[in-house]
Structure 1
Amino acid sequence: MNIADKIKEVLVSDLFVEVPAEEMREDENLRDIFGLDSLGFVELRVQCENIFGITIDDDDFSPDNFSSISSLAGLIERLTSADADPTAP
């Protein structure tokens, strides 16, 4: 299961988004299409930190990084790569 699929699973099972995972497009807006509110975004951050073993800094907890499944997957990929490569910035 890839990062985007895991995020979809979290949205459905933990955040109770009513759109089935198989119908979610990765470029759809998390707030406008899936109905996430501020508490939902905080919960999504915590779930992603736990599942992927990363820390999402306050600077990275931004609308740009949390606008869609695709943007969040990109952030997680970058953070997991940085954790795997200690020489990465």
Structure 2
Amino acid sequence: MDDIQLALRKMLVEDLFVEVPQAEIGADDRLRTEFGLDSLGFVELRVLCEQHFGIKISDEEFSPENFTSINSVAALIRDLQAAQRV
């Protein structure tokens, strides 16, 4: 588990009030079905990620595929951070 995944778990519990202990959140657990994130929750997660990681998530990148699980969000963040360094 890397720093991005740890930060995402913390955001889910502390900022989005997911009622699952951070240690029990699996990297591939579904954000919508297993943690009950709704459309507003996903928008809030997008903003939190942009602020915390210093990235910009475009409307095109803000897709269900990229916001399925901790792993998919973390992969998007890594890709956006790498693109910024180029």
TM-score normalized by structure 2?
0.97
Q: Which runs of 5+ in 1 are unaligned?
A: none
Root mean square deviation, CA, Å: 0.8
Equivalent residue number for residue 2 of structure 1 = 3
Q: Deviations over 1:3-60 (max 9, x none)?
A: 0110000000000000111000000100000110000000000000000000000000
Structure 2: gaps of 5 or more residues: none
Matched, 1:66 2:80: no
Normalising by structure 1, we get a TM-score of 0.93
Paired AA for residue 27 in structure 1: D
- The answer to which of 1-10 and 34-43 deviates more is 1-10
Aligned length: 85
Structure 1 segments, 4+ long, off by >4 Å, are: none
Q: Which has the higher helix share?
A: 2
Q: Which residue does 1:50 correspond to in 2?
A: 51
